[in-house]
Amino acid sequence: MSATDIRPCGAADLPALFSIVNDAAQAYKGVIPADCWHEPYMPLDELKQGIRDGIVFWGYEADGELVGVMGIQDRGEVSLIRHAYVQTVQRRKGIGEKLLKYLEGMTAKPILIGTWSAAAWAIAFYEKNERQIETSVVLANARWKS
């Protein structure tokens, strides 16, 4: 696997994006608050709205198939990592790590990443891959909106 396997996602990738997000999000079922879980986890209209709102998705291809996706969104002084998902059958192969490092290299701005507090595996992933976490603190008041 190499960076050449990472590419921007376009309109033709929307069905694969939708599939990957909702397959991978099954890990949250029964973990996040019940009132935050729904089927599908991310409806197609919500995915399209995120893209219209400026989330740029990048995908990781293996054998010509999109198997992982991660979005980056410019929010002025910072960039947000949004919707990082890898197909369930493709997990633990370094795909998420490669996508994260690739997207980090796209911006010199500080990067903010959010995830569910109950998603211990996601928090561990970001802690492992983000040296900045050990050396910084992010604080926000109630008016902060991403």
Question: Rounded to an integer, what distance in angstroms lies between the CA atom of residue 90 and that of residue 68?
Answer: 8
Provide the token pair at 115. 């995830």
Cα separation, 75 vs 70, in Å, equals 16
pLDDT at 7: 96
Q: What are phi and psi of 49, to 5 degrees?
A: -65, -40
The whole-number pLDDT of residue 1 equals 46
pLDDT of residue 145: 61
pTM: 0.79
Instruction: Report how far residue 46's alpha carbon sits from residue 57's, in angstroms, rounded to the nearest whole number.
Output: 14
For residues 70 and 111, give the distance between their C-alpha atoms in angstroms, rounded to a whole number: 13
d(CA 140, CA 146): 11
What confidence score (pLDDT) does residue 60 get?
A: 97
Give me the tens of pLDDT residue by residue for the chain, a chain 146 residues long.
Answer: 444 599 999 999 999 999 999 999 998 888 888 888 999 999 999 999 999 999 999 999 999 999 999 999 999 999 999 999 999 999 889 999 999 999 999 999 988 887 766 666 666 665 666 654 554 555 555 656 65
CA distances from 21 to 10, 38, 135, 144 (A): 15, 13, 30, 25
Give the pLDDT score at 128.
67
Instruction: Report the pLDDT value the prediction gives residue 114, as an integer from 0 to 100.
Output: 75
| Radius of gyration of the chain, Cα coordinates, nearest whole angstrom | 15
Q: What's the longest Cα–Cα distance across the chain?
A: 45
Which tokens belong to 58?
């990048």
What are the residue ranges of helices labelled H in 12-79? Answer: 14-24, 44-52
Instruction: Give the N- to C-terminal CA distance of the chain in Å, as an integer.
Output: 32
Q: Check if the beta carbon of residue 127 is closer than 8 Å to that of residue 115.
A: no
- Write down the pLDDT at residue 31: 83
pLDDT of 28: 83
- pLDDT of 137: 52
